[in-house]
Structure 1
Amino acid sequence: MSNQTFGQPVGQVLVVGASQGIGLEFVRQLVAMTSVVQVYAACRKPEQATDLQELAGDRLTLIQMDTTNETQVEQAIAQIKAQTDRLNFVINCVGVLHDGDLKPEKGLRQIDGDRMLQYFQVNSISAILLAKHLVPLFKHDQPSVFASISAKVGSIGDNGLGGWYGYRASKAALNMLMKTTAIEYKRTCPNNIITVLHPGTTDTQLSKPFQRNVPPEKLFSPTQTVNYLLDVIGQLTPADSGDFFSWNGDRLPW
């Protein structure tokens, strides 16, 4: 593969965490692309994902996948392998910031080991399980991209405010896991580009409790966010594999 840019997603694509927010919008836009042959949309409970079901058609396949369960990840990838021998684009949108009793910590007194583990299970380990089982579908001679949604607060170098221990650390771990995977993929899947992406503050369930102090021009709709991220992805070259980018194309510090 030369140093040409990846360009627009083509062929066979997989969206993980596809039932809502950024993942759902990726499905909407990818299904509408004439260059995309098939979209595989994975989520924990596709039978309950009504917005996703409304997009159903010949070019969209819904797949059950709980990324915290390796058996389900393996089974879901096997379902895809039964239909195609390759994927050209995978976007991992799985992530958690708050869920019931799980909330970002403001200080050390709020640290709870079990809740910290939950952040890592969803935000970090899920992605490396995907990377492990996707290898056979990236071993082909066409350009491909494996992108994961990270967060700027996962940048250690950019951390000037503190707090949010579990979320920050789990996103930093995600970045390291994908950086390390990119090094191995250069040997095993040499035509693949791995990237982690900061989407900006997007108007989704994940960000709703924290939108109050966000200027209106900095609060993106899912459509805006996906447009920005697709532009960034489209400019990636093999030299960018393993790097961390913001929604506007800026390279972010680790």
Structure 2
Amino acid sequence: MTRRALVIGASGGIGAALCTALAKHGSEVTQISRTADGFDLTNPESVERVLTACHGPFDTVLVASGILATEGARPEKSLSEISAENMAQVMAVNAIGPALVLRNVPRLLPKDGRCVVGVLTARVGSIGDNHLGGWYSYRAAKAAANQIVRTAAIEIARKRKNAIVVSLHPGTVETPFTKAYPGHQKVAPGEAAANLVAVLDQLSPSQNGGFFDWAGKPVPW
């Protein structure tokens, strides 16, 4: 049977690379993006409209959408830079958006057999691994997304014992998203995507609800 994958955020740097990597891995890939589908992660009606039109089952679902900061803004370096409006927008895209997607995911998964749902969050969303501070909105939104993924994993596994729902840290990927941060060690989107697909292949149901990096290593909550 042909494996089927659903990638949300398929027009972004990492999203497009994931589509390519999954196709090379033998999956039939359904792509969803703002560009092609008018998909607005912050609009519940848009999420429902687009995902209702999708027909499963998919054995792989990936959410690869996100923003570092609102347009024209940057991640906060200090408390004095916090803006309620900017923080709400970052939270809407990075946490509430994935929650709206996950609300639709159970019906898109097979009732039996192994399936994987991965939501790209970030290591900076780890509370235990936060040693530098700053980036309040982005950190908080990714931490919230991690909690949403963890909670969804528990619920989904009640009816699908072989489901694996996880948060994923892809590393710092070389995209327009990270262009303003030249000091970080970056990997090409294709390499990052291949790494993540390899991690997804290795996960077992016993790891459901976990948070893993691009090498398959657990990330502290």
CA contact (8 A) 1:135 1:188 kept: no
Unaligned runs of 5+ in 2: none
When normalised by structure 1's length, the TM-score is 0.83
In the alignment, does 2:28 pair up with 1:28?
no
1:248 aligns with 215
Change (3 A) 1:183 1:158: same
- Tell me how far 1:31 sits from its aligned partner: 2.6
Q: Does 1:210 align with 2:172?
A: no
**1:65 matched to 2:39:** yes
- Is 1:107 aligned to residue 78 of structure 2? yes
The residue type equivalent to 1:94 in the other structure is: S
Q: Which residue of 2 aligns with 1:45?
A: 35
1:1-254 equivalences under 5 Å are: 11-33=3-25, 35-36=26-27, 38-46=28-36, 63-81=37-55, 85-211=56-182, 213-214=183-184, 218-254=185-221
TM superposition outliers: structure 1 runs of 4+ over 4 Å? none
TM norm structure 2: 0.95
SS of 1:219's equivalent?
A: coil
Task: List per-residue Cα deviations over 1:130-166 (Å, max 9, x = no partner).
Answer: 1111111124212111101111110000001000000
Counterpart secondary structure, 1:197: strand
Please give the root-mean-square deviation of Cα atoms over the aligned residues, in Å. Answer: 1.3
> Size of the alignment, in residue pairs?
220
Distance 2:16 2:160 in 1: 27
Q: Aligned equivalents of 2:3 and 2:89: distance in 1?
A: 34
Mapped partners of 2:214, 2:23: distance in 1: 21
Question: What is the distance in 1 between the residues matched to 2:213 and 2:106?
Answer: 26
Contact 2:58 2:110 in 1 (8 A): no
Structure 1 SS opposite 2:15 = helix
Mark the structure with the bigger radius of gyration. Answer: 1
Question: Partner residue of 1:5?
Answer: none
